[in-house]
């Protein structure tokens, strides 16, 4: 006899809630949204981190999260914003959206998204 999908989802939710650290260690989002930054044909979100007292002429580091990740979670796990504080550079995190890719992967494999002045890359190239 097959288990109903709703039952399976309920069980998985219970197991997730029982996991060590579940709901007690939410991801700290240190990133801000970047507004009005171009035509955005790739329909990505832009997140930024600018340390306090950033020196004039400081570097900008562009950070791409992996599949199934988002910018805040990747920053939290990898420590990019802490490193930016320590080393004095700004961060730009393009963030993929599920409407573009269900697994939140950047579409580097798609010709329209990897061509200059087109798709996802066009958004941040200007």
The 10s digit of each residue's pLDDT in 37-84 is 777 777 889 999 999 999 999 999 999 999 999 999 999 999 999 999
pLDDT at 72: 96
The 10s digit of each residue's pLDDT in 18-33 is 665 544 456 689 999 9
Full-prediction pTM beyond 0.85? no
Using the CB atoms, write b or e for 64-91: b if 16+ within 10 Å.
ebeeebbbbebbbeeebbeebbeeebeb
pLDDT at 126: 47
Q: Where are the domains of the chain?
A: 30-125
pLDDT band at 3 (very low <50, low <70, confident <90, very high): low
């Amino acid at each position: 006899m097959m288990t109903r999908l709703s039952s399976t989802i309920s069980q998985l939710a219970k197991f997730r809630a029982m996991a060590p650290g579940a709901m007690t260690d939410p991801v700290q989002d240190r990133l801000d949204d970047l507004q009005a930054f171009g035509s955005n044909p790739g329909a990505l979100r832009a997140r930024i981190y600018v340390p306090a007292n950033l020196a004039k002429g400081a570097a900008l580091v562009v950070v791409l999260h992996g599949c199934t990740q988002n910018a805040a979670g990747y920053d939290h796990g990898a420590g990019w914003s802490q490193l930016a504080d320590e080393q004095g550079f700004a961060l730009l995190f393009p963030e993929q959206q599920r409407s573009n890719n269900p697994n939140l992967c950047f579409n580097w494999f798609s010709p329209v998204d990897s061509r200059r002045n087109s798709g996802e890359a066009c958004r941040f190239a200007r």
